[in-house]
């Protein structure tokens, strides 16, 4: 496989890999961070001569281990012993989607891994065992227990609640969105820290006030977008809607980090539409 073919295949698999990472770590935004880390590991391994016969399974194994590293660093989950042999039918993906991310987070790691790989991504028990590094019996038991647990949670997932945003964060993001709505990009540029960082996720990264200026120039020339203040996974966000349709679901979103009253970092998910598909969002204005 040539480097170009490998890169093309990575881009094709990226949404699928993100679905796994996002559900494993309980966040679409954190899942993208984990995915980027996993892909960097894969590229490094390929550069060192690793050849994968089954590219998707190899990447999922890397994504799995990277997700576990993330969870352990945050002390958000732990592996528990799995016993018993509960028989459960496959959980329809419609039910899986209905379960909030935090419900997956209540499952032990192996149960979470097994349900996602089998009922969301369609892998066999044997493939689950290979990716998770366990026996087929352990994978089967984890799958059955995970399905049973999610069935208990699926009928009554938590309703979307308005996030409790800090007043300062709400105020600053709402002001940022108003400036976008008014097309006042000069005022936005004046809010940038000198060392501001831009992450146009899955496309490019820039640093410094001068280098990032053209990012706003592109938005200034784009007429199809409409903007609203909202929250994504409890963080203040600018929701960006396609102006050609109803403002029912954002096409993408933008997150900001602040240093007092200056914008220190911009994270724009324009080129990763699969993230908004998985994210918990709410429109607030």
**Three-state secondary-structure class, residue 257:** strand
Write down the pLDDT at residue 164.
56
**C-alpha of 16 from chain center:** 11
For residue 197, what pLDDT is reported? 96
Q: What is the mean pLDDT of residues 52-71?
A: 91
- Tell me what the mean pLDDT of segment 266-283 comes to: 92
Return the number of other C-beta atoms located less than 10 Å from residue 246's C-beta.
7
The Cα–Cα gap between 64 and 263 comes to: 33
Query: Residue with structure tokens 């954002």?
Result: 250
Q: How confident is the model at residue 78 (pLDDT cuts 50, 70, 90)?
A: very low
Whether the predicted pLDDT of 135 surpasses 70:
yes
Domains and CATH numbers, the chain: 3-153 (1.20.140.160), 167-283 (3.10.450.50)
- Residues 138-182 pLDDT 10s: 999 999 998 888 877 765 544 444 455 677 888 999 999 999 999
Query: DSSP states of 45-108 as a string?
Result: HHHTT---SSHHHHHHHHHHHHHHHHHHHHT-------------PPPPHHHHHHS-HHHHHTS-
The pLDDT confidence band at residue 86, using thresholds 50, 70 and 90, is very low
Q: Is the pLDDT of residue 73 over 90?
A: no
What does the DSSP 8-state code read for residue 158? Answer: P
pTM attached to this predicted model: 0.76
Angle of helix 3-25 relative to helix 55-74, nearest 10 degrees, comes to 40
Q: What is residue 154's predicted lDDT score, i.e. its pLDDT?
A: 61
- Of residues 101, 100, 130, the one with CA closest to residue 117: 130
pLDDT digits (tens, 9 = 90+) for 181-236: 999 999 999 999 999 999 999 999 999 998 898 899 888 888 889 999 999 988 99
Q: Which carries the bigger pLDDT value, residue 256 or residue 6?
A: 256
């Amino acid at each position: 496989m040539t480097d170009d073919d490998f890169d093309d295949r990575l881009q094709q698999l990226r949404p699928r890999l993100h679905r796994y990472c996002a559900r494993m770590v309980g966040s679409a935004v954190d899942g993208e961070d984990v995915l980027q880390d996993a892909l960097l590991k894969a590229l490094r391994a390929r550069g060192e001569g690793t050849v994968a016969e089954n590219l998707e399974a190899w990447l999922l194994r890397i994504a799995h281990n990277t997700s576990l590293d993330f969870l352990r660093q945050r002390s958000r989950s732990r592996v528990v012993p799995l016993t018993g042999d509960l028989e459960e039918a496959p959980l329809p993906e419609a039910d899986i989607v209905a379960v909030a991310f935090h419900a997956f987070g209540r499952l032990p790691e192996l149960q979470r891994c097994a349900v996602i790989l089998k009922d969301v991504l369609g892998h066999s028990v044997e493939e689950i065992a290979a990716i998770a590094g366990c026996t087929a019996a352990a994978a089967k038991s984890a799958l059955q227990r995970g399905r049973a647990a999610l069935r208990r949670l699926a009928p009554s997932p938590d309703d979307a609640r308005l996030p409790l945003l800090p007043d300062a964060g709400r105020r600053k993001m709402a002001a940022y969105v108003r400036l976008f709505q008014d097309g006042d990009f000069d005022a936005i540029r004046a809010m940038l820290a000198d060392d501001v960082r831009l992450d146009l996720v899955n496309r490019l990264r820039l640093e410094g006030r001068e280098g990032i200026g053209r990012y706003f120039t592109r938005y200034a020339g784009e007429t199809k977008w409409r903007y609203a203040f909202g929250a994504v996974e409890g963080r203040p966000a600018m929701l960006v809607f396609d102006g050609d349709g109803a403002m029912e679901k954002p096409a993408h979103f933008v997150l900001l980090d602040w240093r007092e009253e200056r914008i220190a970092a911009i994270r724009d998910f324009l080129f990763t539409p699969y993230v908004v598909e998985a994210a918990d969002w709410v429109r607030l204005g």
